[in-house]
Amino acid sequence: MTAQILDGKTLAQRLKGQLQTWLAEVSPQVGRPPGLAVIWVGDNPASAAYVGQKQKSCAQVGITSFGGQFPAHTSQGELAHLIQQFNQDERVDGILVQLPLPADLDSTKLLHTITPDKDVDGLHLVNLGKLLRGEPGLQSCTPAGVMRLLGHYQIPLAGKQAVVVGRSILVGKPLGLLLLASDATVTFAHSRTPDLAGLTRQADILISAVGRQGLITPQMVKPGAVVVDVGINRTPAGLVGDVDFVGVQAVASYLTPVPGGVGAMTVAQLLLNTVQSYGQRHELVMPQFSG
C-alpha cells in the first residue's frame, strides 16, 4: 500500500483562485476590498515566515493588509488599544494576533479584546462557544482547514474512529469538535495517555497536532487509516511534521505531507474567514468556495 497524498497546497491554490475571481467582481460594488489586520510582536523567525506568507496570500486574492510588526517591548495596554482601533476601523474585516507572543504578554486577554465578528482565528470565547454548540461562526483556521481538506477528498467521517493526538485550544480541541459534528467517534490523546500506540492503532482517522518530530511511527498506524499531520518542526534539513512520512506512507490510505499539507490550508482558511466576515458585514450572497 502507498498512501494517497492529501495535497493541501494544490487545494489552497484553487481556493485562492476562487476568492480572487469573486473579490474582483464584488469589491468594486462594495467600494473597498476586504481588510485583514495582522499584529506581530517581536522577531520570532517562524512568526516572520508565517506573517510574510499570510500577507503575500492576501495580496494575491485582493485582501488589503493592515497592522505589522511591533517591538518585543510593546506593552499589553498598547496592543489592546491597537486592537480596539482595528475593531472600530470600517476598513478592517479580520484581526489576527500572530502567536506565540512574548512571555510577558497575556495572549488570551488580547484575543478576547478582538470583537467576535472580526476574530478570523476563531479563538474568541464567543466563536469557540458557537463551535461547541454547533452554531455558525468563525472557526479556527487549522481545524477548519483540515476539515475542508478531508471533505475535498470525500473521506467519510460518519461512524469512523478518530483519534486526535494533542489537546490545544488552537488545534486539538476545536478539531475534535468538528469531527464530532461530522458524526465521527472522537478520542483525545495527550502526553499522559497510557499506551498511546495501542490507542492510535484503533484509529480510522489519526490526527497528530503535537509538534514532536517522529512521534507517529508506522507501528502506531492502523493499516488503511487516514493520517493527518498538523505538526510543524524546524530541522536543519527543513520542515517536518510529527509523522514518519516515509514509513507511514506504506501503511496509511491517505496522508498529508509537511510542508504542502495542513499549513497551506490554514492560510487558505484564514483568507476564507476574512472574506466571510467581509461578506456578512456587507450582506453579500456568499458562494460555496470548494476548490
Say whether 121 is catalytic.
yes
Q: In the chain, how long is the greatest CA-to-CA distance? A: 58
Selecting among 7, 16, 98, 242, the annotated active-site residue is: 98
Q: How far apart are CA 72 and CA 86, in angstroms?
A: 20
Say whether 98 is catalytic.
yes
Measured in whole angstroms, the distance separating CA 155 from the mean position of its chain's CA atoms is 19
Residues 6+ apart with CB under 8 A from 91: 32, 35, 64, 66
Q: Tell me if 168 is assigned to a ligand binding site.
A: yes
Cα separation values, 112 from 95, 106, 108, 116, Å: 11, 10, 6, 8
Measured in whole angstroms, the distance separating CA 212 from the mean position of its chain's CA atoms is 18
Q: Tell me if 232 is assigned to a ligand binding site.
A: yes
C-alpha cell recorded at residue 273 = 474567514
- Hunting for cell 459534528 — which residue is that? 181
C-alpha cell recorded at residue 122 = 476563531
Q: Tell me if 253 is assigned to a ligand binding site.
A: no
Selecting among 7, 119, 121, 244, the annotated active-site residue is: 121
Q: Tell me if 167 is assigned to a ligand binding site.
A: yes
Annotated binding site for NADP(+), which residues? 166-168, 232
Annotated binding site, which residues? 166-168, 232
Residues designated as active site: 54, 98, 121
